[in-house]
Structures are given as structure tokens and as C-alpha cells.
């Protein structure tokens, strides 16, 4: 998916709406499950998706192929927006904690979200991430999906900070092999 995506962004930057539609059709079906995986709510995921592609349209002129692939450009943006959304939702929950806590939060939301979301998680596991060991996948998920920092991960996994850093590096190296066509 190398250059064609980059070409689309360049044409988009010139104001070509059809290029935007093609760009959306090309990437949205991949960005959507990724965002959904982070925010775990279809309505939220649709909102985030719209924000991400709207920003892509507005920011197309600033895209620099020397600084990254189109895939990294859109996914990095999607990750930031999705994690922002999760944090905003959490803050909102905390603001009204007294009212919402007992009845809404405490009650019937199963830990893994609804069945559809769980099915999507399984699909994602069937992707390149499946090539990682359980421990490597966990650390990538904590960092990339949950947005935890190295210190937070170290605390969560009760491991030394140095170990966490090394594990992230090794997991990325393994992932790189998995996504590199042989």
C-alpha cells in the first residue's frame, strides 16, 4: 500500500474531493475496527472515525512522505483521537460518578464490552498481532490500545521499567517481521 496512498493525500491536499472519497474508501474499513477496538463503542468509534478523516482532509497539505507512510499518518492520528475519546468518556463518567456509578456503571456492562466488540477483538488477534507471544501482545496492547505509558505498564505488570522498555522494543522487532512480506 506504499505510494498510491501518498498520491491520494497529495491530490487531496490540492482540494480534490474525489481523492478524499477514495482515500476514505481505502483506509476507513481498516481504521474503523482499529478505533472500535480502542473505544469499544460503535457510536463513539463512528464519531472518532469522522474526526480522523476530517482532520486528514484538512491536514493533507502538511503530509510529508519523508516523515512516514500514509498508513502511519492515518493510524497515528486515529490512535491519538481514539485514546482522547476514551479519556474524555472516562472523565465524564467521573464527573457524575455519584449518579451514574451505582445504576449504570455498576450494572449490566459485561467487562469485555458487547458481543460484537468481542468478536472484533478476536478478528484483530487474527492479524499480525497474532504472530506475537502472549506477553508481547499484551505489552503492545497496553501501550498502543490502552495508551498507558512505560511507567504505567511497569506498574500494571509489576515489572522493572527497564524490562518493559526492552520488551516493547523486542515486540516491535517481532511485529516488523510479521508485517514484512517475505
Q: Is the Cα dihedral 88, 91, 97, 101 positive or negative?
A: positive
User: Of 93 and 112, which has the nearer Cβ to other proteins?
Assistant: 93
From the list 8, 39, 86, 153, which residue makes contact with other proteins (rule: CB under 8 A)?
153
63 binds other proteins, rule: CB under 8 A? no
User: Would you mind telling me the total number of residues written for the chain in this entry?
Assistant: 182
* Dist CA 71 CA 1 (whole Å): 8
CB of 66: closest distance to other proteins in angstroms?
9
Contact 37, 145 (CB under 8 A): yes
Contact 105, 93 (CB under 8 A): yes
| Among candidate residues 95, 160, 173, 162, the one with its CA nearest the CA of residue 132 | 173
From the list 11, 13, 69, 156, which residue makes contact with other proteins (rule: CB under 8 A)?
69
CB of 73: closest distance to other proteins in angstroms?
8
34 binds other proteins, rule: CB under 8 A? yes
From the list 8, 9, 39, 45, which residue makes contact with other proteins (rule: CB under 8 A)?
45
Q: Where are the alpha helices (DSSP H) in the chain?
A: 2-13, 17-39, 42-59, 70-95, 97-100, 115-125, 134-140, 150-157, 161-179
88 binds other proteins, rule: CB under 8 A? no
Instruction: Pick out residues in 114-133 that bind other proteins (CB under 8 A).
Output: 120, 123-124, 126-129
CA 31 to chain centre: 8
- Contacts with other proteins, residue ranges (CB under 8 A): 1, 15, 17, 20-21, 24-25, 27-34, 36, 45-46, 49-50, 53-54, 57, 67-69, 71-72, 74-76, 79, 92, 95-96, 99-100, 102-104, 107, 120, 123-124, 126-129, 140, 143-144, 147-153, 165-166, 168-169, 172-173, 175-176, 178-179
Amino acid at each position: 500500500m506504499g505510494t498510491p496512498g501518498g498520491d491520494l493525500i497529495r491530490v487531496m491536499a490540492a482540494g480534490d474531493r474525489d481523492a478524499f472519497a477514495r482515500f476514505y474508501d481505502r483506509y476507513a474499513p481498516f481504521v474503523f475496527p482499529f478505533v472500535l477496538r480502542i473505544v469499544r463503542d460503535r457510536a463513539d468509534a463512528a464519531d472518532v472515525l469522522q474526526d480522523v478523516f476530517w482532520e486528514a482532509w484538512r491536514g493533507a497539505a502538511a503530509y510529508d512522505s519523508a516523515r512516514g507512510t500514509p498508513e502511519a499518518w492515518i493510524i497515528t492520528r486515529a490512535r491519538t483521537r481514539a485514546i482522547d475519546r476514551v479519556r474524555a468518556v472516562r472523565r465524564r463518567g467521573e464527573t457524575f460518578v455519584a449518579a451514574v456509578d451505582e445504576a449504570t456503571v455498576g450494572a449490566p456492562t459485561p467487562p469485555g464490552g458487547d458481543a460484537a466488540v468481542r468478536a472484533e477483538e478476536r478478528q484483530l488477534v487474527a492479524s499480525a498481532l497474532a504472530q506475537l507471544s502472549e506477553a508481547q501482545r499484551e505489552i503492545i496492547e497496553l501501550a498502543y490500545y490502552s495508551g498507558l505509558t512505560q511507567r504505567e505498564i511497569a506498574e500494571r505488570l509489576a515489572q522493572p521499567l527497564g524490562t518493559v522498555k526492552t520488551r516493547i522494543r523486542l515486540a516491535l522487532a517481532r511485529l516488523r517481521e510479521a508485517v514484512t512480506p517475505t
